[in-house]
Amino acid sequence: MNIVLLVVDTWRKKDFVKDNSIAPFLSEKSEEGLHLENYYANSPWTVPAHASLFSGKLSSEHGTTTENTYFSEENMLTSMLVSKGFSTSAFTENHLITEETGFSEGFQQFVQTTEDLGGDTWKEIWQKDDEFSGRKEKYSYFFKKTIKKRDIDSAKSFFRHITDKFTSREADHNSGKTVRTLEEANKKLKSEKDEFVFANIMPVHSPYTFDEEDRESYLSDYSEEEVLDASQTKVLEDYLPEGFSDTKLDIRQKAYKASIRYADRKIRNFYREAPENTVFIVLGDHGELIGEYEKQGTKLIGHHLGTYKELVEVPCIIFSKGRELDLEIDERGLYSHTEMIDIIHGLIQDSEVESREILNSEYFGRKGFVQQFGRKIPEGCEQIYNRKSFSLINSEIKYDLTTEGEYVWKSEVLTENEKMDLDKATELKSKAKVLYEWRVE
């Protein structure tokens, strides 16, 4: 049996469940197989989310956060699969999921289909990432070290990264990266061994990759220049003080949907080329905000912004080709959050999947998020970014502990500014603080 774990970077649940025409192939497969209704990302951005995916731990446990972007934990997922006789491979087009950031750990084969921010100097920087006060200090260190060591590979990779980021080339090249990533993954599946293949693809991450067919469906009212301008990969502070216009928001929302349609077709082709006896797990690592909320009059764009449901509710679909999907999972596991390690345990019939509880409380199943921003919040963004934000969540209740205060919410009002008075709130806060050694600074 082969197992494919395919991460569609930045794919949120909201658009997928509201309109199945956006991703027709994956919608069909979610009906044939399983759609885990309450699967959540452990963090609203890539690096800590993948660290949780591979380690089975929360950010507060594995320590890979915005302040420390190097993954140093054991990859429990691959260790478990190797012990069961699987060969393990990874194919990534994400410049943050690389050997330099520690994510090759545990994989017998690790292929980067992007060369962004690679080389010895960048590997050193990722390992000591938490020592830098911000991007300026990090880049200064990079240039000094690169010149001193004459590290041509790191210098070239940085130049490619900057060129792609600030021209239209990034969107143009992403389609090639996605195709290359999935082609390499499919080659591996055709070996004689039981294969576990992980892949990360980036079309749904800004600047949103799609082709002419998708453009005609979603963006025919806008010029190519308008689409490129509205879809750029920028941090929120780059849009201040003028913010995001309604027109730009409309373009960005439609470009996001177009990219999902594009990714759906590429995954369909990947499935068709894959051999029989293969099980697929397709999920988002985190979601995206495209103006759904605002703070201090500023529309929120991106995903480094807290634990809004659009950022942490992600699809997780399990389906198979040429074999019956035989997943030992208890009924509760379909509707409560379940860790990926437990899901794959169930797929290989190693144990029954249960929805683990991390707090012994009727209000919460196993779920937690920790989001830590850099030590220095960008100027003018003090009221937009939380330095730290911690949430426990399940399908019924959400508990937030942030630098702004403590809140307990009903799930249908996760982000509205009205508190709920629950008898269990005091007990819950106490347990959360003790369990995660959480301190609000």
Domain 2-355 annotated CATH 3.40.720.10: yes
Quick one: pLDDT at residue 132?
64
Using an 8 Å Cβ cutoff, are 236 and 298 in contact? yes
pLDDT band at 250 (very low <50, low <70, confident <90, very high): very high
Between CA 415 and CA 305 the distance in angstroms is 13
Lowest-confidence region among 48-57, 124-133, 242-251, 284-293:
124-133
Tokens of 130: 């938490």
Quick: pLDDT tens for 224-241.
Answer: 889 988 888 776 666 666
Between CA 222 and CA 368 the distance in angstroms is 40
pTM of the shown model: 0.78
Quick one: pLDDT at residue 140?
74
| DSSP 3-state of 288 | coil
pLDDT tops 60 at residue 346: yes
Quick one: pLDDT at residue 430?
52
pLDDT tops 70 at residue 220: yes
Phi and psi, residue 280, nearest 5°: -115, 135
More confident residue, 79 or 39: 79
- 40: DSSP letter: B
pLDDT band at 182 (very low <50, low <70, confident <90, very high): very high
| DSSP 3-state of 92 | strand
Quick one: pLDDT at residue 318?
93
| DSSP 3-state of 267 | helix
* Average predicted confidence (pLDDT) for the chain: 75
Phi and psi, residue 106, nearest 5°: 90, -15
Between CA 252 and CA 256 the distance in angstroms is 6
How confident is the model over 292-319, as a mean pLDDT? 83
| DSSP 3-state of 128 | coil
How confident is the model over 230-257, as a mean pLDDT? 82
Q: What is the identity of the amino acid at 415?
A: T
Quick one: pLDDT at residue 26?
97
pLDDT band at 131 (very low <50, low <70, confident <90, very high): low
| Helix-strand-coil split of the chain, %, nearest 5 | 40, 20, 40
Between CA 237 and CA 301 the distance in angstroms is 10
Highest mean pLDDT among 138-152, 263-277, 412-426 belongs to 263-277
Lowest-confidence region among 15-19, 89-93, 289-293:
15-19
pLDDT band at 172 (very low <50, low <70, confident <90, very high): very low
Lowest-confidence region among 16-25, 74-83, 153-162, 176-185:
153-162
- Half-sphere exposure (Cβ direction) of 207: Cα atoms closer than 13 Å: 24
pLDDT tops 70 at residue 206: yes
Phi and psi, residue 313, nearest 5°: -90, 115
Tokens of 264: 């759906």
pLDDT band at 256 (very low <50, low <70, confident <90, very high): very high
Structural domain spans, the chain: 2-355
Quick one: pLDDT at residue 360?
34
pLDDT tops 50 at residue 179: yes
Query: How much of the chain, in percent, has pLDDT values that exceed 70?
Result: 63
Tokens of 113: 């289909």
pLDDT tops 90 at residue 198: yes
Quick: pLDDT tens for 61-113.
Answer: 788 877 778 898 899 999 999 999 999 999 999 988 988 889 999 999 999 87
Quick one: pLDDT at residue 91?
95
pLDDT tops 60 at residue 243: yes
More confident residue, 401 or 290: 290
Between CA 307 and CA 319 the distance in angstroms is 28
DSSP lists the bridge partners of residue 281 as 5, 318
Between CA 401 and CA 326 the distance in angstroms is 39
Using an 8 Å Cβ cutoff, are 108 and 75 in contact? no
Quick one: pLDDT at residue 165?
55
pLDDT tops 70 at residue 126: no
